[in-house]
Every structure is written in structure tokens, then in C-alpha cells.
Structure 1
């Protein structure tokens, strides 16, 4: 089957992108190297193509009402031009997807969903919206999304627009921003733990914006691929659907109860999540480090003595760190800080220890 391509496919190849199959999309895993790209975002700036992400527009009299029913966070408190992170859950409390909600007005709301889940999410949203006065439109194929992230992101992007980026607050957005001569929606959001912006534009404008940002940034910015995107989000403690989140993992087990507002009114999965909150979770996502040599990869077993107590969801030796660190979904009784664990790394058992999931102090601009 032929892979889907974003509007920046040729631009990636010009930049020397190493292209891979990512959930049926041909996307760059790296350009100059994962470590170099990771450090560039932490110290200066990086540029990501995230056009494979899905965009679903919800419009109509009940737009905000149906979104609030679909998600765990309280969409009713959103102001116009505000963004919210949240989860869509199934009736068992498991996560259908994690997403961003962009509120234009009470009657116009944009949902930004994960690329691997677009078809599944769309069917879910349409089914659960029956009986509401709304229209659901998948606009993913018309929209390109570019993310510029890092401590120098604002300085670089500001040179390409007359709009004052200081006016766009954290998790806020602005329509009609002209970037490199092209009209865009710009939000102060991202997936790296650094300050930065996500730029939504028509496909025909994407390559001009991409090349203009790289030219303007010069030595202060690098294009960054899927590899650095994953190490950066992991180091910042941000979950990845399919790893820390899934149909059988609840937001409470994943450690994101802050985004579950049980007192906001009815929403899908509320009853199960309320029971779980009252009784306590039996398993949870915990941070760990390995004290021996080896890297704990996703899916590796976590042991306490001879007992299997869970599995790794993400593990890396992050650039600049000597030890492998990671996240694991394990039995709660073994998740206390300082608890000793064993990790099955191929045919070896490597000693480890439970540590805080706060691997990085985030550098968001509030």
C-alpha cells in the first residue's frame, strides 16, 4: 500500500530527512541525528512537520455541549481563542484518544487528534454526537501543521509576522496571523516541554512557511524528526497514545487525573472514573531508572523478584543522561519512590528503581 504523504514530503527529502513508515504516513524519523535535534530544541529551536495529525471541526448550536460530553476536561469554562488538553474516554474509562480542543465560539470548536486514530475517532465522535444539533467535518486532508519549539522559537517566528506573538498566551490561539506572507492559525502549544508555537495553514502554503522559518532561523534552528519528537515529549512527561494511554488504560492510571473533571456534569466514562477515583487505582504509570547497563524498551516486563508487576511503556537513554530512564505501567503497591524493580532486557534482568516522573522542568511561557 502506498504511504500517505504530507505537503512537506519533498521539503523533508531536500533537508536530508530519513523517511519511515509511521502509521501509513511517510515521515522523517531524523535529519541530522536524534541527539543533535533533541539538543537543538532544548537549547535553541527545532521545526517539526505534524501535518499528519487529524483536525475535526464541530459546528452548530450544540458544538461546545457535545464536545463537553465527549471529553473528560471541562470544555464549558473555555474562553474564545483558548486551547484545552483533554481525553476522550470509552464507557469503561479507557482512553479513546488524547486531544486538543480549540474553542472559537460556543458553536465552532476544533478538535486536534492523533494521526493513528483519525478514522476511529471520527466514527466515535459521529456516533456519540447523534441527537445533538451539530455538524462534524474531518478537515485533516486540507490542513498542514508545523511546530516550532524551543527557547528561541518566538524570536525566529516573530521575524516572519507582524502580529505580536506576545499577545498569544500559553494554550491560546489567534486566527488570521500572516506568517511569511501566508494566513495561518497560530497557537502557543506544543509537545516538547519548551515554549513554542503550532502553525495551521492550507496545504499550498506549508512549504513556503517551512522554508522561510529554516532560512530565518539559520544556525539557531534545525528540522527535527519523529525520533526527537518522542524523546522530547517523553522527557517532558507527556504521554503518547499507544504507550502511556490506550483503550484499556484510564487517565487516572496514567497519572493525568488533573484533566478529569468529575464534578463538571455528565461525560462518557464518568461513572467508571468516579468509582476508580473513590477506590483508588490498582496500577499506575511510574518513572524508573536502570542501575545497570541496558535500555528498557516499550513492552519489556517489569518484575519484583519472580513476580511480573507490569511493563515498560516508554524507555530511553536521553541525550545528556548516562542512565536509561523510562515510564512503566505497574501495580500500584510497587510504585513508591525508591522501590527496587527488575526489568527483563532481552535475556538479562537489569536492576532498577522507581523515581519521579518529573524528568524535566518545563520551559513554557505562561
Structure 2
């Protein structure tokens, strides 16, 4: 396996099984980069990614926030310049979109995963008061979304934009001459989403990628970002099927309002009244576990694997399993996935599963050049079954 500009300390901090026999490859501006190298960029340096899968919408008008409130599941108690994570549910109470709501004075910016602009417009027309004075605007293709992630993403952005960026609080945003910077991210590391005007996007990507490479990073794929989100317990509309599941089973009730009606709220109340039989729980395993696999206990089946992926940081498989309520708890190592002629043990765990490097890096005292001075405990402090 190739390592692009990484010091020996980063190699030492990863488990021995970091190198896979047959690595996957993506292409970063003409340079082949393995998934393992991408992962290292996110966890130890900085990573650049195009977020073409995210919808960018703006609702203008005095009633913009009221319109958004009608379709989202959470209470939109958020002031201008700040961001709030919420969901859009279907009538069965199943999550169909993961949404950042960003009030911006007389408008509201939305970053939407899982739903097209047309689908959102239909949902808005169906659920919002038709008398509200609003105008829905699709920010693409006039804008592009670029993201930065990693313990030194702040250093990249401070050189490209302004040193003041290190003071931008999590879940907040501000405008600059070429677009808007959102302090967000779902990898567990420092994260920034940049909405850039299309005419400036190519130059911005080139400049940012040069800076990213100067801190040992690379451009990374959506799959790597999804893996990092999975390790940290972030919900993703791509990490496993939600068919038949509501935020109650998915442990997302903190994104549900208790004071208002919203699409799917009747189904949520019905599910709460009848009770749930299974709940999402995180697990680790050595190998041989895939989405859809049955999970068994000593005497009977107890659940089904929803998401599973190899984690270089852990040296094994990390994922989620939908377990029967009596056993849907972390710290249980009596479960296994039956394979042909063998049984693959799994252990349930709590999220986040790893020690994110960004927790150890202080932008006021550290930099990539002085990374040797940063404490580096093992990324994974647990053990595999």
C-alpha cells in the first residue's frame, strides 16, 4: 500500500490490519488514491470532497422559516447565522431526507441529502400553508458545494480564506466574497462546507487541493466520508435501509418535535403507542459481516445487520445492527453472524467508536508542522471479538 506524504507516527497509530490485500482506488485530479489513503487524509490531515449529492436550496420571503417548519420534523429554534440538523419524513414516519436548516435574515438556506429539489418542492406544496409569502430557489448549478474535513482542515481554510475561521463555532456560517462557509461536517473531525459560485469553483478546488496536499491530505470519495460518519454515530440516508423504520428505532427522537404536527408525526405517535420491537445498535467484528446478514444469539436470531464497512482505524468491520429490544445494548459479545461452515462473532459498542484526532488538536497551539507535539493515543481503544 502506498502512503502519500505521511510521517511514521501516523503509520504507527493505525492498526496492523490497516493495509487490505486488495485496496479500492479512486482518482484525485489524475492521481490514484486508495481508500486507505483517503481515510488517513480525513483522520490525520485534511480531505477535500465534492458534495454533488447534496441539494442546495434557498427559500426567500418573510415566511421562509414558517414554510420550512411545516415540512421538517424538528423544532426550528435557530437564529440567523446558525444551523440546525433535522429530518424530513414520509407519511409512514420514515426518514427520506437529512437536512441542515440555515436561517439567513429574510431567507433560509437548506442543505438536503436524500431528496431532489423537485421532491422537496412537492413536499413543501403539500404541507406548507399556501398563503405563505415565499419563493423557492435552487442554488445549483450557479453554485457548487465543496467540503473540507480533518484535524487540520481549519489550517487549510485559514490560509485560503481567513485566520478568523478558527473561531467559527460548530453549526454556524458566514458569507465571503466567493460564497458561504458552513462550519459543519459528519466525520467527527473539523469540517467545513463551502458553497462557491460556479465561476469560482474550479479555481477554488485547485487552490484548496494544493493546500490540502501540503498537510498530507488528498481528495476523498463519498464512501470514505460515509465510513467516517458511521464510526462517529452520525445518521446517513445511505448507511443502511430505513424501510419500515422511524426515528424511534433509529435513535433519532432528538430530531422530533413534541409540540407540532409534521409529515409522518401521526405514524410516529402510533409507533410510540404500540412500542418498538427492535432498536439500532452499533457493533464491531473482525471480518465477514455484510448488510442484510442475520445476527444470532446463543439460542435464537436477535437481529439483522443494517450497515457494515471495513474501518482502517479499527482494523475490522464497523456497522449497525437492528437488535431485539431486550438485547439492544452496547457491550454484548455473545452474538454472531452465521457464515458457511463458521460463525463470525460481533460485539455491540457505543458511538463514537474512535478517538477523533480533532479532539486533540487545538488550532491556537498546534499546526500540521508541529503535529509531532500532539498527543496521539490509539485511535481505537477497544478490542475486536
Structure 2 partner of 1:251: 247
Q: How far apart are the structure 1 equivalents of 2:340 and 2:65?
A: 48
Structure 1 partner of 2:195: 200
Q: Is the 8 A contact 1:295 1:317 kept in 2?
A: no
3-state SS, counterpart of residue 311 of structure 1: strand
Q: Is the 8 A contact 2:185 2:193 kept in 1?
A: yes
Q: How far apart are the structure 2 equivalents of 1:56 and 1:126?
A: 15
3-state SS, counterpart of residue 80 of structure 2: coil
Are 2:34 and 1:33 aligned? yes
- How far apart are residue 283 of structure 1 and its match? 1.4
Q: How far apart are the structure 2 equivalents of 1:104 and 1:346?
A: 56
Structure 2 partner of 1:222: 218
Q: How far apart are the structure 1 equivalents of 2:206 and 2:74?
A: 37
Q: How far apart are the structure 2 equivalents of 1:162 and 1:320?
A: 32
- How far apart are residue 305 of structure 1 and its match? 5.1
Q: After the TM superposition, which of the residue ranges 56-65 and 301-310 deviates more from structure 2?
A: 301-310
Structure 1 partner of 2:46: 45
Q: Deviations over 1:128-149 (max 9, x none)?
A: 2352412223333322111111
With normalisation by structure 1, the TM-score equals 0.81
Structure 2 partner of 1:240: 236
Structure 2 partner of 1:313: 306
Closer, same or farther in 2 for the Cα pair 1:167/1:354, shift >3 Å?
closer
User: Aligned residues, how many?
Assistant: 332
- How far apart are residue 99 of structure 1 and its match? 1.2
Structure 1 partner of 2:267: 272
Are 2:151 and 1:137 aligned? no
Q: How far apart are the structure 2 equivalents of 1:162 and 1:191?
A: 23
- Name the Cα RMSD after superposition: 2.7
Q: How far apart are the structure 1 equivalents of 2:303 and 2:142?
A: 41
- How far apart are residue 347 of structure 1 and its match? 7.0
Q: Is the 8 A contact 1:245 1:251 kept in 2?
A: no
Are 2:107 and 1:108 aligned? yes
With normalisation by structure 2, the TM-score equals 0.78
3-state SS, counterpart of residue 187 of structure 1: strand
3-state SS, counterpart of residue 186 of structure 2: coil
Q: Is the 8 A contact 1:239 1:245 kept in 2?
A: no
Closer, same or farther in 2 for the Cα pair 1:15/1:266, shift >3 Å?
same
Q: Deviations over 1:311-362 (max 9, x none)?
A: 2222122113233221112322231231522224577532223222331345
Closer, same or farther in 2 for the Cα pair 1:39/1:129, shift >3 Å?
same
Q: Is the 8 A contact 1:245 1:254 kept in 2?
A: no
Structure 1 partner of 2:93: 93
Are 2:202 and 1:210 aligned? no
3-state SS, counterpart of residue 83 of structure 2: strand
Q: After the TM superposition, which of the residue ranges 145-154 and 271-280 deviates more from structure 2?
A: 271-280
Structure 2 partner of 1:156: 156
Structure 1 partner of 2:64: 63
Are 2:353 and 1:359 aligned? yes
